[in-house]
Amino acid sequence: MRDETKILRATLTPVKAGEPLHAGPVFAGPFHAPGDPTDTYSYARSHNPTWTALEAAIALLESGPGHEAQVRVFGSGMAACAAVFGAVLRPGDVVVLPSNAYFMARVLVQDYFVAMGVTLRMAPAGAAQAELMEGARLLWLETPSNPTMEICDIAALCEAAHEAGVLVAVDNTTATPLAQKPLSFGADFSVASDAKSMSGHSDLLLGHVAVKDAGLLAKIDRWRTMTGGIVGPMEAWLALRSLATLPLRLERSAANALALATFLDARREVESVLYPGLKTHPGHAIAAGQMRYFGPVLCFTLRDKAAAETFLTRAKLVTEATSFGGVTTTAERRARWGSDDVPGGFIRMSAGCEAIEDLLEDLEQALEAID
């Protein structure tokens, strides 16, 4: 079965006469649990049937030929990242991060794990990271990276890491496991914020960790139960419902992103465009080899802050907001946060599912308003 069919079927509840096709969320604190503990549901910080259904659906996407993924969902992408760092890193361990890793992940390691005796090594994403691997415990990858859209070769880095006895985690948020399956390329952990394309409606926070190894799964599960970074059943249910349309949403938004990137690339107001689907992107060949869709996120640079603000104010179909992967097009001037090393006119845009003609017309009139 293809992923599109698998994921649709996975959002259905097993059929039973007189029951709905999609069972509702299960709201519970404690579950009825008589006698000695068994493996049934007992307390909702440890497990919940709505999570189980969502985890099974995500696991189908994370699995590949020859390996079956197991998934644990968390209350946000950061809770999922923290679970990998927390379950794996101990004082004296070395972790290798890309220097442009998602800002919060970098700060989490710096402010907490380094403070507790973990050594952090950083290098630009890709081969430079491989050079820092000796004696390391964990290699962290992010491809395409947010927001600078760097691409690294997951399979090559996993091979080098495993030769050196290093575990590999991939932050797969921008791609989603429909577009890119890190575990299939050898990664030990596939981590994501599912607040982005996975759930896709800009209405919830969620994250997950996927693994192949039972020992690593036990560590991630234990971390979640102990730290309690859990997702509510309503959000888990909304995410499960939204996953059914992931293939449709991703196909459309990635096609729109490519059309917008191509259009912007040809405009005199635009200094540069970053989208891995463009043949001119330095990571295009690698991305094409490991991604099924290039995703909804594209970045471009206008002359300066003022030009970017004019563009964002004038564009009617582009909602100014952080985050990405929603069904409607959003964008922001990324330098406003001061956290990423990008110029003042740098815009990160997330293409939605609108008719492309409308988006192109809107972007054109917004660019023309820049003087």
Ligand X SMILES: *Cc1c(COP(=O)(O)O)cnc(C)c1O
**Alpha carbon distance 199, 193 (integer Å):** 9
Quick check: 173 binds ligand X (CB under 6 A)? yes
Quick check: 55 binds ligand X (CB under 6 A)? no
- Quick one: 76 or 184, whose CB is closer to ligand X? 76
Q: Are 131 and 106 in contact (CB under 8 A)?
A: no
Cα angle, residue 203 at apex, residues 202 and 204 outer, rounded to 5°? 105
Q: Site for ligand X (CB under 6 A): which residue of 50, 180, 193, 242?
A: 193
- Quick one: 44 or 239, whose CB is closer to ligand X? 239
Q: Are 299 and 341 in contact (CB under 8 A)?
A: no
Q: Are 71 and 209 in contact (CB under 8 A)?
A: yes
Q: Site for ligand X (CB under 6 A): which residue of 102, 140, 275, 294?
A: 102
Contact range with ligand X by CB under 6 A, out of 34-42, 43-51, 169-177, 335-343: 169-177
Total of chain residues touching ligand X, rule CB under 6 A: 14
Quick check: 50 binds ligand X (CB under 6 A)? no
Three-state SS string over 191-223 comes to EEECCCCCCCCCCCCCEEEEECCHHHHHHHHHH
- Quick one: 48 or 76, whose CB is closer to ligand X? 76
Nearest in space to 101 (alpha carbons), one of 51, 164, 171: 171
Q: Are 354 and 363 in contact (CB under 8 A)?
A: no
Q: How far is the CB of 310 from ligand X (least distance, A)?
A: 26
What SS3 state is found at 317? coil
- At residue 142, what is the residue type? E
- Quick one: 48 or 350, whose CB is closer to ligand X? 350
- Quick one: 63 or 173, whose CB is closer to ligand X? 173
Quick check: 144 binds ligand X (CB under 6 A)? no
- Quick one: 142 or 188, whose CB is closer to ligand X? 142
Quick check: 195 binds ligand X (CB under 6 A)? yes
Footprint of ligand X on 225-254 (CB under 6 A): none
Q: Site for ligand X (CB under 6 A): which residue of 86, 182, 186, 207?
A: 207
- Quick one: 81 or 302, whose CB is closer to ligand X? 81
Minimal CB distance to ligand X: which residue?
77
Q: How far is the CB of 157 from ligand X (least distance, A)?
A: 17
How crowded is the C-beta side of 299, counted as CA atoms within 13 Å?
24
Q: Are 119 and 127 in contact (CB under 8 A)?
A: no
Contact range with ligand X by CB under 6 A, out of 47-55, 171-179, 278-286, 312-320: 171-179
- Quick one: 173 or 310, whose CB is closer to ligand X? 173
- Quick one: 8 or 204, whose CB is closer to ligand X? 204
Distances in Å between the alpha carbon of 30 and those of 26, 158, 189?
A: 12, 41, 30
Quick check: 205 binds ligand X (CB under 6 A)? yes
Instruction: Supply the angle between the helices 246-265 and 356-368 in degrees, to the nearest 10.
Output: 30
Q: Site for ligand X (CB under 6 A): which residue of 61, 63, 71, 77?
A: 77
Quick check: 140 binds ligand X (CB under 6 A)? no
- Quick one: 77 or 295, whose CB is closer to ligand X? 77
Distances in Å between the alpha carbon of 357 and those of 148, 254, 328?
A: 26, 15, 14
Contact range with ligand X by CB under 6 A, out of 24-32, 168-176, 231-239, 285-293: 168-176
**Alpha carbon distance 346, 341 (integer Å):** 10
**H/E run at residue 135:** none
Q: Site for ligand X (CB under 6 A): which residue of 44, 78, 204, 254?
A: 78
Q: Site for ligand X (CB under 6 A): which residue of 55, 150, 153, 171?
A: 171
CB atoms within 10 A of CB 24: 11
Quick check: 109 binds ligand X (CB under 6 A)? no
Nearest in space to 26 (alpha carbons), one of 7, 53, 8: 53
Contacts with ligand X, residue ranges (CB under 6 A): 76-78, 81, 102, 142, 146, 171, 173-174, 193, 195, 205, 207
